[in-house]
Amino acid sequence: MKKIALIFGAVVLAIGMAPLPAAATTDESVGPPINILVGTPTTFPAGTPFHIKHGWGLEPSSDAVGKYSFALEVDGAYRAEDFVLRSVITGNLDVLARTWVFNFPSGMTGTHTFVGRWLAPCYVTPGPCSNPNAAVEVDRHTLTVTFS
Encode 76-107: b = buried (16+ Cβ within 10 Å), e = exposed. eeeeebbeebeeeeeeeeebbbbbbbbbbeeb
Q: What is the pLDDT of residue 126?
A: 83
CA 53 to CA 11: how far, in whole Å? 10
Q: How confident is the model at residue 3 (pLDDT cuts 50, 70, 90)?
A: very low
Residue 2 lies in a domain: no
Q: What is the pLDDT of residues 45-87, one digit of tens each?
A: 999 999 999 999 888 777 766 789 999 999 999 999 999 998 8
Residue 3 lies in a domain: no
Residue 1 lies in a domain: no
Q: What is the pLDDT of residue 12?
A: 40
Residue 15: pLDDT over 70: no
Task: Specify the CATH number for the domain of residue 115.
Answer: 2.60.40
Q: What is the pLDDT of residue 124?
A: 85
Residue 80 structural domain: 8-147
Task: Tell me how many domains the chain contains.
Answer: 1
Residue 59 lies in a domain: yes
